Each structure stands twice: as C-alpha cells, then as structure tokens.
Amino acid sequence: MRSFLGLLVCATLAAAQTGAANLELEKAKAGLEKLRALVEAGAVPQTQLVQAEETLADAQDAALLGRTLYGEELTDAQSEAMMAAADRRLQRRSQAFERTKKLVDAGVAPAVSLDEFQEDLDSALKECDLAASRVLQLHELTANAEIERALLETSVPPLLSERHEGDGVFNMSRFARIEAAFHHHFGKRLPVSAMGETDVHRSMGFDHRGRVDVALHPDQPEGVWLRTYLDEKHIPYFVFRQAVAGKATGAHIHLGTVSGQLAHGD
C-alpha cells in the first residue's frame, strides 16, 4: 500500500495499462474471428490462424498484467497467474528475437530489424522484474501481518520487538509530516508496505485501519532516523526486528497503536 499521492499515481498507471491492454485484446479477438472464417473457407493457410491464436494469447496475458502489475492488492492465486503471464510474454519475445537474429546472421534480414525485437524483449524483462517485485511485496506484507499477530497472541522477546506508546495519537495528518520529513532528509519516499486496511490484515482478523507499516529495519540508518523522529514527536509505534516465535520474517516499523481484532461484521 502507498500514500495518497502514490495511490493516485498507481491508479492512473493501472487505468492506462489496463485500457491499452484491453484494446489490444479486443483487436486480437476480432482479428482471430475474421481469420478463422477465412481459414474455413480455404482462403488462407492454417499457419496464419495459429499465429493469430498466439497473438490473442499474448494479448490476454497483457490484459492480465495490466490488472495486476499496478493493482493495490493481490491474492496468492493472482500473484501466480501474474508471474506465469509475465514468463509467457518473455518467452514469446525471446523466441521472436532469436528467430530474427538467425535471419540477420544468415544475411537475409538487416541488422536494424533486430532493434524492435530487442525493445520488446527488454520490456518483457522489465515486466518480469516488476511482477517478481510485487510478489515479494505481498510476501513481506503477509510476513509483517504474521509478526503482528504473534505480538497479540504471544509474549514477544523485547530484543525482537519494542512498543512505544507516545501520546497515543496517530493519524494521516501526522503521517503526511513524517513522509515529508523523511523525503527531505533522504531524498526519497518512505517505503510504505501497508497503509490502513489490507486484504492480508483483514484475512487474519486484524483491524489495521489508521495504521501504517514501513519496510525499514529499525536498526539500519533510515530506521534509526525514523524511530528518533517518532520519539521526538511522541508518535506511537512498534518495531519488529526479525522472526517472532518462528512464525515469520519481516523486520519493519508499525506506525500507530497495535492492530486490534476486527469486530464481527466489520
């Protein structure tokens, strides 16, 4: 999850990516239907239909990635489907590049013809990297939620976690000032891993509304700076340094009071 500005940017990117992918998908479907009719009439060879079916499959994968790469929440099943789609698109572009390279090496096609295929291959590699990053983010979010559940259910050793009550008040106005101060000091955005309620926290029965998880190790320089800032401003927070009671890994800093249990019907 991200700050409001980050959410707005991601929503815009998601809309653009999904819209473009859906347009390509509709074009591929329409082209396939026309081609199938021509093949049945004997006007074009079967090989063209096979190519059109591959184009449609690629457009379907692109549409799936448009929905998942820039979305805010992913289930495990969606993550697996996203990774599989990214891998298929990478394989297709790698094969297309190799086919064209053979033509270039044989002197049948000019070297410049490889440029477009190289760009497509580079784009597919970036898609795979982004998909892997999203899966890692989901795993970290789940791990953090597991740690917070352990805090509620068990006695957590003080070396692994710390609880700072502050003045007991944390809200989005305070969070905006934290973000601004962090950006001013480090020149980059605060690495927020969960803002407010998430599907992961809800599935575990946590009321994470009004809380924020930050993906920083509390003993690294950025984490130390953040904890010092929170102490100075009397903002409540928790720190988690490593696995708790063998349940999960995921050092992070939880801003706000401890997540309570969701009431029935929430």
pLDDT band at 138 (very low <50, low <70, confident <90, very high): confident
Burial class (CB in 10 A: 0-12, 13-18, 19+), 163: middle
Confidence of residue 153 (pLDDT cuts 50, 70, 90): low
User: Which candidate, 212, 204, 227, places its Cα nearest to that of 151?
Assistant: 204
The mean per-residue pLDDT over the stretch 97-125 comes to 92
Mean pLDDT estimate for the chain: 76
Q: Is the pLDDT of residue 130 over 80?
A: yes
SS3 for 202? helix
151: confidence class by pLDDT, cuts 50, 70, 90: low
Residue 118: predicted pLDDT: 93
Beta strands in 131-190 (DSSP E): 161-164
pLDDT digits (tens, 9 = 90+) for 222-248: 999 999 999 999 999 988 876 544 443
Q: Where are the domains of the chain?
A: 4-141, 157-261
Give the amino acid at 116: E
Cβ atoms of 164 and 237 closer than 8 Å: yes
| Per-residue pLDDT at 64 exceeds 60 | yes
Burial of 49 (0-12, 13-18, 19+ CB in 10 A): middle
- How high is the pLDDT of residue 258? 67
Output 262 or 174, whichever has higher pLDDT: 174
Q: What is the mean pLDDT of residues 88-111?
A: 92
pLDDT band at 180 (very low <50, low <70, confident <90, very high): very high
pLDDT at position 263? 43
Residue 154 has pLDDT above 50, yes or no: yes
